[in-house]
């Protein structure tokens, strides 16, 4: 069995960290990670000094640099493993399972997908905030995540959309455009709630509204009003 691990073609720091281990950390190194995530999430990367991280982690500043060499690499070391987890390869199986069921609906799929990913964000709220806040500034992060996203998520979602499109329920535009609409909304949804409004969770009512909005948004118009 061949396992293809390499997804990105570029050889970057991003990939280096992707393949590095995050386990067997010392207690102090753990404290650095926790402190850094908390401070970066709260005040942003640029507004947090390494001195402050060291103080909160109750560790000498030099300990941070012994391990991470630069402040920049510290950020990447926090964010990259999170991204790795956010798009799990396991999702493939789950999706195949869902779409193999004959009675499965697109609504059910979207509900499962949304609730699952929101739960994941809630579990790791702070690091999600760091990611969203810093992806705007760090070109490297942006240029690596966007392809990573489109290469891992797009094929999976395309599969699902295709299935329901064949049933004729969905709007008659290319799948890439449907996906763009869905992810624009979901992106706006989680970013506004968890980053802008700093919510700790999202209640079910709002999630159901969102699901309805997405489902109807991409369905074939029931009446042409043009």
Partner DNA sequence: CAATAAAGTGAGTGAGTACTTACTTCTGGT
Partner DNA sequence: ACCAGAAGTAAGTACTCACTCACTTTATTG
Which of DNA, a copy of itself, none lies near 185, with the C-beta cut-off 5 to 8 A by kind? a copy of itself
Site track 43-62 with DNA (rule: CB under 7 A), x = hit: -----xxxxx------xxxx
* CB of 31 closer than 8 Å to CB of 58: yes
Q: Does 13 sit near a copy of itself (CB under 8 A)?
A: no
Q: Does 149 sit near a copy of itself (CB under 8 A)?
A: no
Q: Does 43 sit near a copy of itself (CB under 8 A)?
A: yes
Question: In this chain, which of 52, 107, 126, 140 binds a copy of itself, going by CB under 8 A?
Answer: 107
How many residues bind to a copy of itself according to rule CB under 8 A?
Answer: 42
Q: Does 140 sit near DNA (CB under 7 A)?
A: no
Q: Does 105 sit near a copy of itself (CB under 8 A)?
A: yes
Dist. CA 134–CA 79, nearest whole Å:
10
Question: In this chain, which of 12, 29, 158, 199 binds DNA, going by CB under 7 A?
Answer: 29
**Residues near 153 by Cβ (< 8 Å), separated by ≥ 6?**
87
Question: How far is CA 22 from its chain centroid?
Answer: 18
């Amino acid at each position: 069995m061949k396992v293809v691990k390499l997804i990105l073609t570029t050889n970057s720091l991003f990939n280096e960290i992707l393949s590095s281990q995050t386990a067997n950390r010392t207690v102090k190194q753990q404290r650095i990670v926790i402190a850094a995530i908390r401070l970066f999430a709260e005040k942003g990367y640029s507004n947090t000094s390494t001195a402050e991280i060291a103080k909160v982690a109750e560790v000498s500043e030099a300990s941070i640099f012994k391990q991470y060499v630069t402040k920049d690499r510290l950020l990447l070391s926090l964010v990259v493993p999170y991204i790795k987890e956010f798009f799990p390869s396991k999702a493939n199986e789950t999706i195949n399972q869902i779409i193999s069921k004959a009675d499965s609906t697109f609504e059910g799929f979207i509900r499962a997908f949304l609730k699952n990913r929101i739960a994941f964000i809630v579990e790791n709220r702070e690091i999600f905030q760091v990611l969203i806040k810093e992806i705007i500034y760090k070109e490297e992060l942006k240029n690596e995540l966007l392809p990573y996203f489109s290469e891992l998520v797009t094929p999976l979602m395309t599969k699902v959309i295709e299935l329901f499109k064949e049933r004729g329920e969905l709007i008659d535009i290319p799948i890439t455009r449907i996906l763009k609409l869905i992810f624009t909304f979901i992106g706006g949804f989680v970013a506004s709630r968890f980053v802008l409004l700093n919510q700790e969770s999202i209640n079910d009512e709002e999630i159901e509204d969102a699901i309805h909005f997405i489902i109807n948004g991409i369905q074939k118009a029931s009446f042409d009003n043009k």
